Amino acid sequence: MKAKFLVPLAIFLALAGFLGYGLTLNPSVVPSPLVGKPAPAFQLAKLDAPQETFGVDDMRGQVWLLNVWASWCVSCRQEHPYLVEMAGTGGIPVIGLNYKDERQAAIGWLRAQGDPYLATVTDEDGRVGIEYGVYGTPETFLIDKDGVIRYKHIGPINRDTVQKVLMPMIAELSRAG
């Protein structure tokens, strides 16, 4: 046992390894148990036409994104250009879930920032948000043709998210079934 003096060093390195790995994790990102489960159904009033409703069933047969946003949400402003860009290329329909917002503020916000949404529904009391396990805005769900949630992105999306994560998944899901 000549190398006995190396034991504390080995323990230290193992501990440092674990702690170092911990530093790369983001504690505010909580994995959603809803991935792989059917998207919770909702039937909500449209933002621009409150007398009409829109629901998950209206998107059956399509691969689509559900983007949770609010006009009071600062990081939504940050991700918005990428949503506009994605909608512009026509790759995927995006549905907006306007979370605990005021109708007029939301309409004004979309007018100013651009409207990438095929439809925006309003979740005034945040009930549908709770059904989707939303705990902050923005959050984005990728939902397949059968209405199953395939991916959840927490926080603002950026070019990297779109190109490296969303687009490949969308391409794959669109080919399937």
Partner 1 sequence: MPVDRFVRPLNAGIAVLLFAALFSLPSVTLSAGEATPVAENPELEARVQSLSRNLRCLVCQNESVAESRAPLAVDLRAQVREQLGAGKSEAEVVDFMVSRYGDFVLYRPPFKASTALLWLGPLVLLVGGLGWLLLRLRSREQEPALHLTEDERRRARALLEGNPADSEEQRS
| Residues at the interface with partner 1 (CB under 8 A) | 27-28, 30-34, 100, 125-126, 129-133, 135-136
H helix runs in 64-117, sequence order: 74-88, 103-113
Q: In which residue are the tokens 């007398």 written?
A: 51
Shortest distance, CB of residue 33 to partner 1, whole angstroms?
4
H/E stretch holding 159: helix 159-160
Omega within 30 of 0 (cis) for the link into 138: yes
Shortest distance, CB of residue 45 to partner 1, whole angstroms?
19
In terms of CB distance, is 7 or 112 closer to partner 1?
A: 7
In terms of CB distance, is 9 or 130 closer to partner 1?
A: 130
In terms of CB distance, is 29 or 49 closer to partner 1?
A: 29
Cα Rg for the chain, rounded, in angstroms?
Answer: 20
How many CB atoms are located within 10 Å of the residue 167 CB? Answer: 15
Shortest distance, CB of residue 85 to partner 1, whole angstroms?
29
